[in-house]
Amino acid sequence: MKRSNLTRKDLAKAINEKMGFSQRGSGDLVDAVFDTLKKALLAEEAVKLVQFGTFNVRKKAPRKGRNPRTGAAMEISKRSMISFRPSKIVREKINQS
């Protein structure tokens, strides 16, 4: 099965074809959408898009770990990570095919 990869360019093309913005303008609009999403996540705000899924910022506490090569104990600093949970709509759509 051939798997293709959707990129910024494909999204820009979709906007160009559907709405008539120029190729370049469409690309800028795609960037603006992801910039807006990023800004919210960087402000540690969850983003809930019912039709697609939810992005959450999860905080992880510092913990003790080991350097796998040397075995030396070390502290892994606290960090944040972004998690994504696909919406029910998307989960059902994927499993239909």
Partner 1 sequence: MNKSELIEALAEETKIPLRDASMIANTILDAMSDALAANDSIEIRGFGSFVVKQYDSYFGRNPKTGEKIKVRPKKLPFFKVGKELKELVNK
List residues near partner 1 by CB under 8 A. 1, 3-8, 10-11, 14-15, 18-19, 28-30, 32-42, 45-53, 55, 57, 79-84, 86, 89-91, 93-97
Minimum distance from residue 71 beta carbon to partner 1 (Å): 26
Closer of 50 and 61 to partner 1 (Cβ): 50
How far apart CA 83 and CA 29 sit, in angstroms, is 24
Minimum distance from residue 95 beta carbon to partner 1 (Å): 6
